[in-house]
Each structure stands twice: as structure tokens, then as C-alpha cells.
Structure 1
Amino acid sequence: AIAMLATFYREPAHPKPPRINYLAPLLLMLGGSALMAALIQGGTLSRPALVGCVAIGVAALASLVVRERHTEAPMLPIRLWRNRVVALTNGGCFAMGMVMLSVTAFVPLYVQGVMGRSATATGAVLGTMSVSWALSGAIAGRILVHTGYRTTAMIGGAALAIGSIVLVAVTPARGPLWVGAGTMLVGIGMGFCNTTFLVSVQAAVERTQRGTGTASNIFSRLVGQSVGAALFGGLVNLGVMLIVPEARDAAENLMDPALRRGLPADELVALTQAMAAALQNVHLVAAVAGVAALVVGSRLPRTLDATAPPSRRRE
């Protein structure tokens, strides 16, 4: 890859390299961290601490927006987000990130913690998503050429939603194969959506903005994963506490084989049932995110002429 880039890639030199905007990532980190802390620890923080986290987060993100509007080298140009295709694909990537996180972080908890299966079974289930993601991404590129952005994005969004619904319906009796079917569908959805959103955002902006447009896609997906981690973690904690109020370190007790063997039979049953119910809520919210990705896909243009100026691109 390095040899091909060195041989074939030609980039015109910039007469005046832009200044690096150091303050923007610091404001983003401060604002995002404060809001994530409020979401994740909201149930344990005192009211002043919770209000303080929210206030700091909102103030930092508002300052970031002001900074981005007036700086010479914005990290995420505001005008780029006014592009309809960019805004849509970034929203879709946000939803993708949430669905992806629901699988990578919480499916192992179900397979090992609720079903009592081994880490090998968990690896096989997650591997199904990785393989289907890679294969469907390649297939999506072929289909996109013939059907357009809208169709492939809608296929991906539908697969994300259906895969999450399959995971909602999982029970310990159905075993890892059922879970693998759900993760496979999610992987297909990720492959179709990721390929479509990436290509469409690059076709929707000027050549000089393609790197920024691509980065905004990746950034939106990472934000979706972060919000998903906070939201889903809160759902699991709340769900377990409502059913088993006295439970402490439920996930650790269920995932660690030694701790699991040391639990009394009635407590083990109560914990697994509470965890199963809480994880159902996680995948239910992920299914809603999948539907959101489907809606985004339906709003994308069928075609974009990447050679035309953004204002004259055919939709």
C-alpha cells in the first residue's frame, strides 16, 4: 500500500499550509467527556456534580461551534454540515456506531454471562459479524454501481434493524447460532451502509474537501459508539438494579467463571434473568437506530455526479 501511494498518488502542494487548530480537539474532548460522564454516572453523581458535568459539556461544545465558525482551519467545517448528503450520511454513521457498539460490547455479555458459554463461542459469534461485514462491503460496491446510493443504503439499514430484532428475540435456549444469525445480519448492514455512506459523501463534496468529509463520517460513527456505550451501559445497570436491587458487579460475577461458580443457584438464576431482560432493551434501542439508518438511506439521492461542482450535482 505504501509503495502504491508513493508511486501513483499525486497531491498538489499548498502554497500556504493552514495553521493547526489545537483548541478545537481540546474543546471537543472536554465537552464529550463531560456529557459522557453525565450519561454513564448520572445515577451515582450528586445533583450539583451532574448539573456541573452537563453545563461544562454544553459550554465546551458551544465554544467549539463558535471556534469552528471563525477559525482559519476548522477541524469540522460548519459549512460542510450544511451539505444535505454529508448531514444525512453522518447521521447514518452515528446510528451505525450505536448498532455496532451494541454487538461488540454487549453480545459477549449475553453469550458468556447469560448463556454461560465460553469465550471461544463469543469469538465465533463476533467473527461472524466481521466476516459478513467484509464480504458485504465488497458486494455493496458492485451493487451500488448499478442501483445507486439509496438502494444499497436502505439494504444496509434494513439489515441493521432486522439483525438487532433477531438479537432482541434471542433466549438462552436458542443458543449461539441464533446470536450468530443476528450478528451476521448486523455485519451485512455495516458493510452496505459503511460503503455507501463513504462513497456518497466523497461524491457530494469538492475534491479538496473529500478528506474532511470522510473524516466527518468516521467521527460521527465514533460519536455514535460513545453515546451507545453510555446509553446502553446505563440501560443494563438500570435494568439489573430494577429486577435485582441488591446486585453488585453483576456483569463481572456472570462473566468470570470462578465467580459464577461461587454464586448460589437462586442468585445465579435471578442475575441471568435480569441481565437477559436488560440486554433485550439494549438491542431494542439498537433496532431503533437501525431503522434510523434505513430512513437516512431512503433520503439519499439515487446518484451523484462526482465530477460536477457540488451546486450542480445530479440527484
Structure 2
Amino acid sequence: MSQIAPPCDRGVVAATAPHPGKAKGPLVLIGTVLGSSLAFIDGSAVNLTMPVIQQQLGGDAASAQWIMNAYLLFLGALVLAGGAAADRYGRRSVFVVGVVVFSCASALCGLAPSLPLLIAARGLQGLGAALLVPASLAILGASFDQAGRARAVGIWAGAGGLMSAIGPVLGGWLTDTVSWRAVFLINLPLAALAVGFILAGARESRAPRAGPVDWAGALTATLGLAAITWSLTEAPARGLHASSVIAGLLLGVAALAAFVVIERRAESPMVPLKLFQSATFSGANGLTFLLYAAFSGALFLLPFQLIRGHGYSAASAGAALLPLSVGLAVLSPMAGALTARLGVRTMLTIGPLVVAAGFALLALRAGEPGYWSGVFPGLVLLAVGMGIAVAPLTDAVLGAVPGAYEGAASGINNATARIGGLLAVALVGFVLAAGSGGEATSQLAEGYRMAMKAAAIAAAAAGLIGAATIRSGPRKA
């Protein structure tokens, strides 16, 4: 997802009971870094290819949205079920299956002759990522004892930040010098190395009390999110009052209502609903949804603005995003010390408000073609704000639930971030349609400006939620 990983990955690792046994730590660490990098690079690099893909394969704005959302839909809806499957059937086995599915889908993406086939392959990629991402984190947690875990997680997180920074630059360079197809095909050697290192270094592990996988919940969540995403994507062209759009929205709401009923009755629910009795946990997830929706929706449009609006090459557009990734990598480790001094609530109020200021500045400078005056200042504020907010967000989520539910709480918050991005990208069509009425370039510029304003409002609302709901204090028993 763009240039920032979802929150609470550290919580997923921490909640996994260590079973190091005969695991070969260095090989496991390399394998999990490579496996997670498939998702990190894909999330940040594919954004840069979309303007070029759309030009070569045709399609409208909705087609470009589906290139991103087919992936986000299956990843966001199924990542919790993927984690449960890894706990029940074996983390190493599920990781290998996920990487194989992801790499086969990447090959299909790279060879796709048309947009419908590319979008279908992107959905398959999302399914593979929903298996490999949680399994990768669980393998990391199971392979190191408490003494070695902090160092391993630090290396993993640093490598993930590096890969997220490399992704846009690599994606832009490959698109310009080889083809957009190479952005997908480069996943194949990385996947082969990841599987090799994990098979050589990790021992199989399972959660000792893992219940059955909540497949009914996973199915209804996927159906509900798919129906709502389709309706929001199609509404700008068909109209909000179109019968197909209304039917899709009703189907989505009904499926999500069924999901809630299933979760209340499930033996091992994907989402333990009682966690939402905590105002802090509910507030943290509301904050996460709005903040990551703002971030994902705005950065979905930024490459279009740079490439089509201001004439950047794909490589230059990728390099333009480097300050964001580098700033996040530098600032995130410092957030822990700041949180100890200022408190979680203060950090989760200030951080989103700084992000809102960054989006507002990007909106104000939308017509400025110069990078240093038009784009760079806003990206710096985004990096500062997200750097302030992400680490304390994990602390807030884990501090709001009993220790036995840390893994579930982390997974829910992680999925919330991805679903926020999914729905935000689905809504992009509305701001593009609102900016219509002139030439394509001016329409894009006006749509981009409106998207930045909407992102600023959402991020500011996230900050207000943080101020109103986040409480610091001892964890509940």
C-alpha cells in the first residue's frame, strides 16, 4: 500500500509464541524479508505503472482503479483468514503456498494481453499476499526467542522500509527502460529465493490452540467489500441512482451484516467483536481507517498528476516519492522516544493533523509543476506526520486489549488499514468526475486538487478521533 506498511506488524510478531527449535535464524530472517518484500515492492511500484498501463491497454479511470483494488480487495478481506490458516495448518506451508500463488499471479500480470486478464491476475496476487504476509510475520515470531526477537523485528522492519523506498524508483525505472510488465516479472526470482530460504531455515510451527478457520466470515467479508467497491467505482459513470449501483450497495451492506452475525456465532471468529467494547480500540481502528484511506487515495492519484499532468517520466515520478519513504524510515524509530515523553494520545492527535497539513499543502500547490516548490514540501509533512503516528498506533491497539487478544487486535488493525485504502481508491472516481468540464489535463489537475482536500479532511478527522478516544493507561486484564 503506497509507501508505508500497514500498522501493527510488530504486534503480530509479538503475539506469536516462540518455537525456535532448530530454526536457522539468519536464513529465516532473509526469507521473511524477501517474502514480505514481494508485497512491499508490489504495493509501492505498481502505482507508478498504472498511467502507462492505461495508455497501452486502454480503459477508463475505473479500469485503473481496479488494477489496484483487485489486489487490495482480496488482501484486505482475506488477510485475517490467511493468518488463521497459517496458525492451524502450518506457517511454513501456508507461506510457501502464498508465495507460489503470488508468483504465478505475477507472471500472469506480466503476460496479460488485456485489462480484464490483468485485473483478474491482480486479484490472484491479493489472495497470495493474504497468505504469505501473515505467515511471514508468524514465522518470524516463532523462529526467535524473546531475546533475539527485538533485533530480528528491527532488521525486518528496516528492510521493509528500504524495500518500500526502492519500490517506486525501481518500478519507474523498469517501466521506462524495459516495460511495465517487468515490474511484475521481477517478483519471480525474489519469490524463488524466499521459498528456498524458508524451506532451508524455518521449521514448521502451528498455534497450539488454533481453532477452525472462519471461512464463512472470510467469504461474506469478501463478498460485501467486493459489492461495495464495485458500486463506488461504477457510480461516477452510471450515477448513484442507477439500479445496478443501488443493488450492489444493498448486497454489500447485507453481506457485511451477515458477516457480523457470523462473527458473533463463530467458534474462532476472524474478528472477535467484543474487542470493540474498548473505546480506545474502536477509536484506534477508526483513526487507522481514515488515515490510511487518505494516504492511499491521495497517493493513488499522485503518479497520474506527475506523469500526465506535469510530464514526469515514470522513473522521475518514482524518485519524486523518495523523500516520503526515506523520511518515514528515519522518523519512525524516533517515535518511540517521543511517545514516552508526550503520550500516545498526543502523538495520535498531532501526527494525523500534520498529515492533513501536508495534503492541504499539496492541494494548494497542485498547479505548480516545479518539484521542489510544488510536491516536495507536502511530502515532507506527510512523512513527518505518518512517522509520528504509525508506531504509537500499534501501542494504542495493543494497550487496549487483553494480552491473549494481541494477535487478533493487530490483525484487525492491519486489515482495517488495507480496507481503508481499498475504499478510498474506489472513491477516486468521484473526485475525477467532479473535476470534469475541460481538457483531460485540467480535469486531472482539478480532480487531484479535490482529492488532496478530501484527504486533508479525512486525516484531520483521524486526529480528532485520536484526541477524543485514545486513552493511555494499563492494559486491561
For normalisation by structure 1, the TM-score amounts to: 0.82
Deviations, residues 68-111 of structure 1 (Å, cap 9, x unaligned): 11111111111111211110110111112112213431111111
Confirm or deny that 1:67 pairs with 2:67.
Answer: no
Q: Which moved more, 1:186-195 or 1:83-92?
A: 186-195
Aligned to 2:145: 8
Q: Is the 8 A contact 1:93 1:194 kept in 2?
A: no
Aligned to 1:43: 236
Q: Is the 8 A contact 2:353 2:463 kept in 1?
A: yes
Distance of aligned partners of 1:195 and 1:78 in 2 relative to their CA distance in 1, 3 Å threshold? same
Aligned to 1:167: 362
Aligned to 1:136: 331
Aligned to 2:465: 296
Structure 1: any 5+ residue segments left out of the alignment? 245-269, 310-315
Q: State the Cα distance separating 1:302 from its structure 2 match.
A: 5.3
* Aligned equivalent of 2:443, options 252, 255, 274: 274
Deviations, residues 158-183 of structure 1 (Å, cap 9, x unaligned): 11110000110114435112312212
Distance of aligned partners of 1:54 and 1:173 in 2 relative to their CA distance in 1, 3 Å threshold? closer
Q: Which amino acid aligns with 1:189?
A: G
Q: State the Cα distance separating 1:292 from its structure 2 match.
A: 1.0
Distance in 1, Cα, partners of 2:352 & 2:257: 31
Q: Which moved more, 1:60-69 or 1:119-128?
A: 119-128
Q: Is the 8 A contact 1:103 1:183 kept in 2?
A: no
Distance of aligned partners of 1:82 and 1:185 in 2 relative to their CA distance in 1, 3 Å threshold? same
Distance in 1, Cα, partners of 2:334 & 2:342: 12
Deviations, residues 243-279 of structure 1 (Å, cap 9, x unaligned): 13xxxxxxxxxxxxxxxxxxxxxxxxx3222211111
SS state at 2:404 partner: helix
Deviations, residues 109-139 of structure 1 (Å, cap 9, x unaligned): 1111111122233112222111112222111
- Matches for 1:153-192 after TM superposition, within 5 Å: 153-173=348-368, 175-177=370-372, 178-192=374-388
Aligned to 1:22: 215
Q: Which amino acid aligns with 1:8?
A: D
Q: Is the 8 A contact 1:35 1:57 kept in 2?
A: yes
Q: Which amino acid aligns with 1:111?
A: L
Q: State the Cα distance separating 1:300 from its structure 2 match.
A: 4.2
Q: Is the 8 A contact 1:151 1:302 kept in 2?
A: no
Aligned to 1:265: none
Percent identity reads 25
Q: Is the 8 A contact 2:366 2:449 kept in 1?
A: no
* Aligned equivalent of 2:271, options 68, 73, 76: 76
Q: State the Cα distance separating 1:184 from its structure 2 match.
A: 2.1
Aligned to 1:243: 437
Aligned to 1:287: 456
Q: Which amino acid aligns with 1:102?
A: G
Confirm or deny that 1:98 pairs with 2:290.
Answer: no
- Matches for 1:151-230 after TM superposition, within 5 Å: 151-173=346-368, 175-177=370-372, 178-230=374-426
Q: State the Cα distance separating 1:155 from its structure 2 match.
A: 2.0
Q: Is the 8 A contact 1:104 1:126 kept in 2?
A: no
For normalisation by structure 2, the TM-score amounts to: 0.55
Distance in 1, Cα, partners of 2:335 & 2:469: 16
Q: Is the 8 A contact 2:284 2:470 kept in 1?
A: no
SS state at 1:303 partner: coil
Confirm or deny that 1:112 pairs with 2:328.
Answer: no
SS state at 2:236 partner: coil
Distance of aligned partners of 1:72 and 1:184 in 2 relative to their CA distance in 1, 3 Å threshold? same
Q: State the Cα distance separating 1:16 from its structure 2 match.
A: 4.5
Aligned to 2:97: none
Distance of aligned partners of 1:23 and 1:302 in 2 relative to their CA distance in 1, 3 Å threshold? closer
Aligned to 1:258: none
Confirm or deny that 1:127 pairs with 2:317.
Answer: no
Distance in 2, Cα, partners of 1:33 & 1:163: 31
SS state at 2:375 partner: helix
Distance in 2, Cα, partners of 1:68 & 1:299: 28
Distance in 2, Cα, partners of 1:131 & 1:297: 25
Alignment length, in residue pairs?
279
Aligned to 2:280: 85
Larger radius of gyration, structure 1 or 2? Answer: 1
Q: Is the 8 A contact 1:125 1:183 kept in 2?
A: no
* RMSD, aligned CA: 2.1
Distance in 2, Cα, partners of 1:166 & 1:185: 9
Confirm or deny that 1:53 pairs with 2:190.
Answer: no
Q: Which amino acid aligns with 1:63?
A: A
